[in-house]
Structure 1
Amino acid sequence: MLVLVTPTCRGSGSKVLALELAIHLNIETKRPVILIDLSTDFTSFDMETNCLTAYFNNIIHTAQATRRFEKAPDVLITKIITEECMKIIDERKFIKNIFGGGLSAQLAEFVNYLLHKDFGVIVYVPPDMIGEYLLERAFVDTGLVNRAKIVITSNEKKSCIDRPRMISSNDLLSRRVASIIINKIPMGVLDGVREDVKVRLLKKTAPKGSPLLIGLIPLTMQLYYRDLNSYLPLLMKAEYNEHAKSISKLLTMVVRNILGVEKESKILTVVRGMISEQRLGSLVH
C-alpha cells in the first residue's frame, strides 16, 4: 500500500498526521510501514545523518538511512535530507541531483523496492517546489501514482480549503485522491469557525469526478509535540483521553477507507457526530 500525504498549506500538524496514518496503517495491516518525509526543512523529524540522499550516494547503509519510531517499532521514518546530511553532501550537488532527475529515479526505485517487500509506504509531500517536482517525477512520470492513494490535509483557512481544487489540473492525480481531506483547527475550538467554512467542510465535492469527502477534525492539541522523541501517539493517549480515542478511531476508519473496506458515508456520520458533540471543546485541553 502506497499513500501520498500532501498538505495544502504549511503547518497544522500535517507531518505528525502522516506519522499517525503510518501507525494506524501498521496496526490495521499488521505489516511494517515506512514514512518518507520529502521536506527539506529541518524543523521536525530531524534524524542527524539519517537521510535517503546519503544512502542514495552510497555514504551510509540503508539501515542507517531510517530510524524506528520507538513507540511503534514496526514504523520506520526517513527523510530525503537532514541538516547533518547537508554537511556531508554538497548542497549544489543535492540541488542538481533533484532537478537533474537522478534523485527522482532513485526515490522511485526505493519505493518500488519497499512495495515489493510488502511494506506499507507513507510519503509526506510538502507544499513547495521541491515536493511538487518529486511528486511529478518520482510518482507520476514513473506510474507509481497508479498504485497510490492521495490524502490531502488542510487547516481551517478558506484559502487552504480552496486549494485542493488545484490538484484537479492533473487528471491522473485527481483520480487517485483518497476520499478524505482532514482539516485541523489550530485552536481546537469549533465555535470560532465561520459558518460558511463549516458548510464547506461538511459537503462532498468532486473535482473532475473524484470523490472527495471533507471532514472537520479538531486535532491540534492531540498532535502537539516538541520533538519526535517526546511525541505520544494517539493510540497511547487513547487509554486515558477520550478525544484522542475518538481521533484514533477516526484515523482507523480513514485507513480502512484507503484500503477499500470502509464507506465514506460512515466516516462522514462520525465526523458530524464529533462536531455536534457538546463536550468536544473541553476534551481538547
Structure 2
Amino acid sequence: MRKTFVLCALLVPAVAMADECKYSEPRELKLKLDGIKSVLLDVQQNTIKLTGNGNGNGISELRGSACASDADMLKELTVHQRRDGDTLVVTLRQEGTIHGINQGNHYAYLNMAGNVPANLQVQLRLGSGNADIGSVASLEARVGSGDLHASAINGPVTVTVGSGEVELHGIGSLTMPTLGSGDGTVTQVDGDVKVGNVGPGDLSVHNVHGNVQIDSVGSGNVRLNDVTGNVALHSIGSGNLRLDNIGGNLSVQRTGSGDIHQRGVRGNVHLPKPR
C-alpha cells in the first residue's frame, strides 16, 4: 500500500498573516513514501512544522502556503520532492531572483506543516527559517541563523548550530558537534550528551539521565543542571561553566581565564590546579 501524508498550512495568528502575507497561493504535492526510511527537509529561509503520526495513516496529499509581498513572486516559491536511495528529499525552494529575500516589507517564503510516520528518521537543513519537529524516530539537523524547536524524539538527536536558536525537549540522546554564536536549550535527555566546540554561544542543559561530555568551551557560557552521570570537559577558554546537582564525577582537564562554578557534585571533582 502506498503511504502518503498531508502537509497543511501552518496555523499563524490572523494579525501576523495580515502583516506578513499580502499575497498567497496554496501548494500541493503528493509524498511518495514507499520504501522510504528517512525524510530530508531542505527548508532554508522558510517555515515548517512536522509531527510524527503514530499509526502511520494519512491521505495522499501535501499542502502548504506560499506568501509574498508581490504577487509576481508567488510563482517562484515551489515545493519539490525527489528520492535518493531510501531517503525522500523534500525541498522548499525560493527560485530565481527572490532567493534569500525576506526583509521588512519585501518578503517571499513558504509556510508548511503536517505529519509523517513516527518511525521515520528526519534530517533538516535550515538556514534563516523556522522549524518545529516532534514525535519522530530521530533527528539530524544543521541550523544556520534560524530557529529550531524539537520535542518527543525517542531516538538520537544530532544538531549543528551556527548563530541560530535551538530548543530541544524530551529526546533520546544528544550530539552537538558545534555551537557557534547561537543559543541552545536542552531539557529532559534520556541518554548521554556529547558536545564538541562551544564558541561564543550559550548552552543550557537540564535533566540528563546519562553522562555529559564537552570537548571545548571558548568564550561562551554552559550551564548543566540535574545530570545523573558524570560530567567531563576537556578545556575552557574565557567562558563560564556552571554546574548544579551532578550525580557522578566532574572532570575538567584545562582552563583559561574562564570561571567554573559547581554545586551539588556528589562524585569526585577533578579541576586543574591554579596557575
TM-score normalised according to structure 1 size: 0.29
Compare the two structures and name the one with the higher helix fraction. Answer: 1
TM-score normalised according to structure 2 size: 0.30
Higher RCO (Cα < 8 Å, 6 or more apart)? 1
Compare the two structures and name the one with the higher strand fraction. Answer: 2
